[in-house]
Amino acid sequence: MRLPGQEEFEAPSASENIPASQLASSHGTGPSPDDPSDRGSKELEMSKDPLLFIQLNELLGWPQALEWRETGRWVRFEEKLEVGAARWSTPHVPTLALPSLQKLRRLLSEGLVLLDCPAQSLLELVEQVTRVESLSPELRGQLQALLLQRPQHHIQTPSTRTWWGSAHSKESSHDVEALLKEQRQNPLRQKLPPGTEAGAVLAGELGFLTQPLGAFVRLRDPVVLGSLMEVPLPSRFFCLLLGPPMLGRGYHEVGRAAAVLLSDLQFQWSARRASNLHDLLAALDTFLEEVTVLPPGRWDPTVRILPPKCLPWQHKRYPGAIIPSLRVLSVVPLVPADDRYGRGPQAPSPELQRTGRLFGGLVQDVRRKAAWYASDFVDALHFQCFSAVLYIYLATITNAITFGGLLGDATDGAQGVLESFLGTAVAGAAFCLMAGQPLTILSSTGPVLVFERLLFSISRDYGLDYLPFRLWVGVWVATFCLVLVATEASVLVRYFTRFTEEGFCALISLIFIYDSVGKMLSLAHAYPIQRPGPALLAGSTAYGCLCQFPGPGGNESQWMKSKDNEDIVNMDLGLVNASLLSPHECVQQGGHPRGPNCHAVPDITFFSFLLFITSFLFAVALKQIKNSRFFPSVVRKVVGDFSSVLAILLGCGLDAFLGLATPKLMVPREFKPTLSGRGWLVSPFRANPWWLSVAAALPALLLSILIFMDQQITAVILNRPEYRLQKGAGFHLDLFCVAVLMLLTSALGLPWYVSATVISLAHMDSLRRESKACAPGEPPHFLGIREQRLTGLLVFMLTGVSIFLAPVLKFIPMPVLYGIFLYMGVAALNSIQFTKRLQLLLMPAKHQPDLLLLRHVPLSRVHLFTAIQLACLGLLWTVKSTPAAIIFPLMLLGLLGVRKALEWVFSPQELLWLDELMPEDDRSIPEKGLERELSFSGSDSEDSDLMYQPKAPEINISVN
């Protein structure tokens, strides 16, 4: 049906969106404008259409008492009103019957279509919609009164009560105020980002209508239509679907079809730009062409399909006019983190482009980071940073104590825990102030510790003074690193593909796991387990300690064990003054405990292992609460952010409750070097010959390779594009800082420090930013990392003052901290693709997950690639654990050679899925070949679990 003057409401161009400033007054608070709530708009970077909230109001009660009742709502997914339970259903993927879509198309083609309607209120809109020739004046009046009737909404406020609308069209001022108050308290309002618009669908059966009445209206300016919507949002679309009674749930399903259609991003895009009815029907036909049909009898219509974890990219569903620009986006995305597949050649970042000048890369890094320096402190003013400081501080001091103890054992006390604390505080704080990537946490690492042990062995075997020899090695390492900075050698990190990164990350993770378990096993030697044996007096705590009282002459009684009989009844106790009292009771009564087990506590080892496992499981469980269904979202987020801190507190509480003498955190109490007789500055020569200062260049060359690989591999992992870092990297500046700190720590006799992959990525994981507003059914969107310098700086300052916090820190059991160490290593190992491919080796093909990787690479080739990586990891571990560890840096460098040799074994397309292409390979593969790999079918558009992507991750940020 068309009105006589309908053409005046139609515009030949797309409608204009209302400015955000005009919507601010009608919408509540929400996240910042860069919140990527509209995933389609974010992916395309061109569609600025606001999010659309759709509500279905159904006309019920014919023929007795007619009333409008809200029965469904959509943002991305459908929520149905469960009347009996008086609640909204969980969001789910809507399913429709094809006849309802066909009937909707017929109603739209025969009904009223108003595009860019100038109505400014619900009354004006109703008057426009009811101006159809088939309605008599009497029926038009009845219909207008019915459409102006306030609907019933189910608003679940914090008090969980439902607001029911009135059946009268006239509202008092008190009713209006109560309505607005209820609408503002709607929790749904807080989940919708600023600028969200609404679409209303009204459907139902009317006995006085003789033929169906359909109307589709697009308002020129979005308007708040009074109480029509449960949330006071400006409405952009209005759809009316009424007709005479029919069998079944005809108009209910047609209304659902209209709401589902409006919730589709492509149809929204077309409906906002349609200039006539033909454009609107073409958009509906396009929707029908892409509908997936489920055969009857093969599925249960009552089962609700849960929303997927990751929605597919929508670029292939948009009209052909914008496809050319989307092809560019599919290869070189405007937002690298939104490159869902990570395939295709990408231009090197500005940090990795040569300038051709000495120290040119360093100068550019300084200029680039200087612009962000002030914001690096302002951006830290957030409560989340407090959680990060506590978490990383405890991890850092645990690492300092662990590696300090290992270093003391490796150097026979030349260095120890105090040097580890002081070096960590000084080097870490200086790095956070000057570095290009302040999220990096400097620490002692396993590979560097291996090299320190080798240098001490050389010094001991050849009668050299260790610390002066180490000083010259550090001087040469700093020199070599400065040469690497001057020649811009950091651009070579472009050749560090996932193969190299995963091999190194897996090695460091295994070192963390091995060291934490090894430390726990060493407790069995420090606190022997008391086993009952044949000799009760020597093997039993109860009978291996007797209380002796002074005899009448002042002499203590003597006791001995019978050699012939093991029965306690037949023990020869000597004098009668011996008693089986406990040691504490014995002392209280004036006796003296005597025996091999008087001071042995048999529960220490077992309870330490209990604390170790419990703290690990606590950290895992509390971290998973963030993605669980328990508790409100705010509680889940706080528990998830403080998971490691809470796990440590729970472990400390359990230890204090039982009161056992478990080994506690030992912090140095005196500020002096561990090696007696030396000052803080190391003498260059002392007993060493002068030529040693030149000979130290040889081991320094190998250590420089290790430092470069250790530092830059960690930097590459930290600066991956899926982490959405906005302030850029600083590869040259970071290496320069490490070189300067290498010289400082060598002169002071402190441990050497580089980027700690595990703790650095744990630091980033604790600073993840997620959207506060998200559509029902959608998980929070990962927004990036809270980039700043203050958390790291505070961590290292607290580490420095920990020497004076010994009275407080001494209550923290070491098994609890070792459990957190284990958690960090396991989390890091589980977050890399290599571990997931290892699991495929143990899975029968029919039980393997439907991974995108397995759709494009034969399983045998996947296993071959995994086996090569596993062999390289085993070789690295073997070399590290043998006297041949001196060549360990060359073995790390050899990973690049192995990766290059894989090009002779695997095709470029296989490497594209299994790993990444080398820079020259990116240029050699034609764009056309890559596009063929990117042209997935609809089912292939799912994300693979074997890709680096922020899933939340867990982003999934790996931690070493």
Query: Which residues fall within 8 angstroms of residue 191, CB to CB, at 6 or more apart?
Result: 773, 774, 775, 776
Ramachandran angles phi, psi of 27, nearest 5°: -135, 150
| Dihedral sign from CA coordinates of 546, 551, 554, 559 | negative
DSSP state of 317: G
pTM metric for this prediction? 0.65
Q: Are strands 87-88 and 442-443 parallel, antiparallel or unpaired?
A: unpaired
Give whichever of 348-352, 550-554, 897-901 has the largest mean pLDDT.
Answer: 897-901
Give the three-class secondary structure for 954: coil
- Other Cβ atoms within 10 Å of 564 Cβ, number: 6
> Band of the pLDDT at 930, cuts 50, 70, 90?
very low
Q: pLDDT at position 944, please? A: 35
d(CA 919, CA 495): 7
Q: pLDDT grade, residue 192 (50/70/90)?
A: confident
Q: Which comes out higher in pLDDT, residue 666 or 563?
A: 666
Reduce the DSSP state of residue 489 to 3 states and report it.
Answer: helix
**pLDDT digits over 770-796, tens only?**
777 566 667 677 888 888 999 999 999
Proportion of the chain above pLDDT 90, given as a percent:
15
Q: What is the pLDDT of residues 606-627, one digit of tens each?
A: 888 989 999 899 988 888 887 7
The three-class DSSP label of residue 825 is helix
Asked if residues 530 and 541 have their Cβ atoms less than 8 Å apart, the reply is: yes
Q: How confident is the model at residue 641 (pLDDT cuts 50, 70, 90)?
A: low
Asked if the model's pLDDT at residue 84 lies above 50, the reply is yes
DSSP codes joined into one string, 158-180: TT-------S-S---HHHHHHHH
Is residue 185's pLDDT more than 60? yes
Asked whether the beta carbons of 820 and 643 are under 8 A apart, the reply is no
pLDDT band of 327, cuts 50, 70, 90 = very low
For 410-425, write each residue's pLDDT tens digit. Answer: 788 788 778 888 899 9
Kindly calculate the radius of gyration of the chain based on its CA atoms and give it in whole angstroms: 36
Count of positions (residues) in the chain: 960
How many C-beta atoms surround the C-beta of residue 282 within 10 A? Answer: 14
Q: What is the pLDDT of residues 38-76, one digit of tens each?
A: 444 434 433 578 889 999 999 887 777 788 999 999 988
Q: What average pLDDT does the segment 196-201 reach?
A: 92
Residue pointed to by tokens 């850029």: 728
Average model confidence (pLDDT) for the chain? Answer: 75
Give CA 811 to chain center in angstroms.
31
Q: What are the tens digits of pLDDT across the range 676-720? A: 777 788 888 777 888 888 888 988 998 898 888 888 888 888 888
- Crossing angle of helices 498-526 and 888-901, rounded to 10°: 140
**Neighbour-count burial for 337-358, b at 16+ CB within 10 Å, e otherwise:** bbbbbbbbbbeeeebbeeeeee
| Rounded Cα gap, residues 839 and 11, in angstroms | 59
d(CA 233, CA 197): 6
Residue 596, pLDDT score: 61
Query: Does the pLDDT at position 508 exceed 60?
Result: yes
Looking at residue 568, what is its pLDDT?
Answer: 42
Q: How confident is the model at residue 578 (pLDDT cuts 50, 70, 90)?
A: low
pLDDT of residue 180: 64
Q: Indicate if the pLDDT at residue 740 is higher than 90.
A: yes
Within its chain, how far is the Cα of 460 from the centroid?
A: 46
